[in-house]
Amino acid sequence: MTLGFGFIITFLLLVPLQMGLYHACYDQARNKPVSFGTMTQGLTNPGAYILGFICSVLVAIGLAACVVPGVFMIMIMQYSVCTMVSKRTTAIDSIKGGASFVKDNLGMVFVITLVTSVLEFFGNATFLFAAILVPLNVCIEMSCFEMLSRQSNADNG
């Protein structure tokens, strides 16, 4: 019970905090200025809390069912945040967009998740994760999301 509650609280706070990093990456890529206000945009977005709660419940259910559905749900969660930042969608639309993005780019998304997971593992082992590798992982995910989204739009249009 405590583990599940802690898991939900972690994801409830993680998504709004991460969203600030995603906004910073997104703005930096477009040569927009990045400030402390950019980093706190997720904390002032009610949709980020809703997205965090829904995703945490879905990830918990996926991990309880088996590791593979849990990993799939983690990938959807990561790209739901990217969708919310880049397309300014609601929580539900962000989850739908993240799921569609993962489905359309499953091979590449799996490789990106594997790479960022390895970086996270080594970062946790060397205590570099929070300071260096979290922003690096966010930049990798957001850059790949943008690149694959543009490629998908070019292929469809």
The helix or strand, by DSSP H or E, that contains position 152, with its residue range, turns out to be: helix 134-156
Sorted by where each begins, the domain ranges of the chain are: 2-156
d(CA 67, CA 76): 14
Write down the residue that tokens 């990456």 correspond to.
Answer: 25
Question: What's the chain's length in residues?
Answer: 157
Tell me the per-residue pLDDT of 93-129, one tens digit each, with 9 for 90 and over: 999 999 999 999 999 999 998 888 888 777 766 766 6
Report pLDDT for 1: 46
Binned at pLDDT 50, 70 and 90, residue 3 comes out as: low
**pTM greater than 0.85:** no
